Structure 1
């Protein structure tokens, strides 16, 4: 028998030091939480933010702590609503994305927990890599499967809080737009070399030890966790053409469109199945394209939670109605059966 539960999952709010996004995610989120997420008096309520909740990347430890507090201070309604959820017994989860990887630092994760739930910090959990609910769902941001965003050694920051992580290629290109194109191209080249070195270290014994530690937290077999860590790999020879294409399209104001579940989602779900740890749902964000679909050769259902910011890239209702905010819901019954899928919330109708 399982414990009945409801999971609310959303991603890509990109809350930063300003509140000038036309969709105002920092104002919509509090209303959503207050109106839609009840106190955990019946089935356990979980709210999971699947990455890029905050603009928090590329800072040293002290700067990360200060910026996190500044972001929450800049969005007081969000801060208050999250605190109220935690106080009402709702479990809050934050999965790290490529824009808020600094949450993986133990000190930053601890500060977030202390700020949102000072009386009971365990009500707030940070997942540096992915969230796993046995037989129910896995949720990861998705950037680890995109060569231009991949951070192979993310667990090093999660374990010891070091500044060893290098910026991935696309972040290196965008780090300082005021620099010349040649200078930025050199930064991309250096980032590619750093990513290649990091990929080699991920396959060494020292990183295997970090993966084994992470497997205990994830409640997954150590071999399964190692296989998941190696599902995707950065390769300069394939990443550079993609990077060049992205830069040309960005300069022209265009984007690469895709309305299918990424191949990596299927590989991830089938790997879990092969190790006897299959789940009903695979949830991700990152692409800003809200989508629900089947996965090839796998019973797992795929959901992408899109974005609450204005950079909507999909063709769903949120593209034409900017008052439609995508999220996923997964209900778990006492017998372990699950139901749910992609939903859209509108402030005027709920």
Structure 2
């Protein structure tokens, strides 16, 4: 196949201001970029970080900027490798996840671009919700389909440039970890009410205008994007019991998710197909379970890029082998045909 472009996709590195994870994702990423990406020869090269690349959650705007710079200071080799990729023409894409949602703030996104590609800022792009390559792939972190992580009005911050980021229920619980059980419960109750109100607001004309602007930026059909934004919905009455059940199962050491594509993935792909916007690949992260799967009769192939952290929850080779790191690759031929799927990279070349 004569390649026109190659896309590498990975997620959930959770790079923070320390590097105490036994899998050392901050040390592994530069090796991966140099051995896989910079050594490749496709005319167009793209690296997509499908969310939770950084640990920024819960920061105010000024703190987000400072923490982002501190993370790169702590992971200098990662910073240099990303900078080298951008300087050599590799397009870097960052999709926001629930742990680095602060990237939706224009000031934080601009700072990321300035750090990694000071001479050509367009080499670095940030996506508040999803990345779309027509007929090829859609990539989103996946937390928008997880009720307690869902932020219905995510685009409002990205477009308006405000500092306001409403915490989803689970983030509100974690943000009040040092408080009493009562204070944490009250925080979650308020977050649930805020999420319910936000779900109603995204069905109004004002939010439709934001979706229209985003559809133009993403080369996406406006009607399709509007339906995708409403595909999953937060409802307190169903979210809280399900989450409580999962917490009990987790505490008992039992798995809370099977090794199959989530139902939301099939709904997402069918929605794209129904509107004539189908893609070959739908890629997410978030669950920390690396997986490639068919989506029933839908021609779209699903890939979850797992995690490079030690919090592996799937049954793939990365569960037993800390030197196996999951990622997805999609090669695009000159005639538009694609190939690829889930892969595992090892620093020793295995």
Bin the TM-score by the shorter chain.
over 0.9
Q: Return closer, same or farther for 1:289/1:165 CA change in 2, 3 Å cut-off.
A: same
Q: Return closer, same or farther for 1:254/1:14 CA change in 2, 3 Å cut-off.
A: farther
* 1:256 alignment partner in structure 2: 256
Q: After the TM superposition, which of the residue ranges 36-45 and 71-80 deviates more from structure 2?
A: 36-45
- Contact 1:16 1:55 (8 Å CA) reproduced: yes
Tell me the SS of whatever aligns to 1:108: helix
User: Deviations along 1:156-202, whole A, 9 cap, x unmatched?
Assistant: 11112223331111111111322222321221111111100111111
* 1:61 alignment partner in structure 2: 61
* 1:51 alignment partner in structure 2: 51
Instruction: Output the aligned Cα RMSD.
Output: 1.5
User: Deviations along 1:242-278, whole A, 9 cap, x unmatched?
Assistant: 2222443455565513211011111111111111111
Tell me the SS of whatever aligns to 1:343: strand
* 1:143 alignment partner in structure 2: 143
Q: Return closer, same or farther for 1:51/1:262 CA change in 2, 3 Å cut-off.
A: same
* 1:297 alignment partner in structure 2: 297
* 2:315 alignment partner in structure 1: 315
* 1:278 alignment partner in structure 2: 278
Q: Structure 2: give runs of 5+ residues left out of the alignment.
A: none
Tell me the SS of whatever aligns to 2:22: coil
Q: After the TM superposition, which of the residue ranges 174-183 and 60-69 deviates more from structure 2?
A: 174-183
* 1:211 alignment partner in structure 2: 211
Q: How does the TM-score come out when normalised to structure 1?
A: 0.96
Q: Return closer, same or farther for 1:305/1:209 CA change in 2, 3 Å cut-off.
A: same
- Tell me, yes or no, if structure 1 residue 27 matches structure 2 residue 27: yes
Alpha-carbon distance in structure 2 between the residues aligned to 1:244 and 1:162: 33
User: Deviations along 1:40-65, whole A, 9 cap, x unmatched?
Assistant: 75421100000000011222211111
User: Deviations along 1:181-238, whole A, 9 cap, x unmatched?
Assistant: 2321221111111100111111111101000000001101111110110101000100
Alpha-carbon distance in structure 1 between the residues aligned to 2:167 and 2:235: 15
* 2:154 alignment partner in structure 1: 154
* 1:169 alignment partner in structure 2: 169
Alpha-carbon distance in structure 1 between the residues aligned to 2:121 and 2:40: 16
Q: After the TM superposition, which of the residue ranges 222-231 and 244-253 deviates more from structure 2?
A: 244-253
User: Deviations along 1:121-142, whole A, 9 cap, x unmatched?
Assistant: 1000001110000000000000
- Tell me, yes or no, if structure 1 residue 111 matches structure 2 residue 137: no
Instruction: Please state how far the C-alpha of 1:39 moved relative to its aligned partner.
Output: 6.2
Alpha-carbon distance in structure 2 between the residues aligned to 1:43 and 1:114: 24
Alpha-carbon distance in structure 2 between the residues aligned to 1:285 and 1:34: 23
- Contact 1:149 1:168 (8 Å CA) reproduced: yes
Instruction: Please state how far the C-alpha of 1:3 moved relative to its aligned partner.
Output: 7.6
- Contact 2:3 2:42 (8 Å CA) reproduced: no
Q: After the TM superposition, which of the residue ranges 24-33 and 251-260 deviates more from structure 2?
A: 251-260
- Contact 2:144 2:152 (8 Å CA) reproduced: yes
Tell me the SS of whatever aligns to 1:266: helix
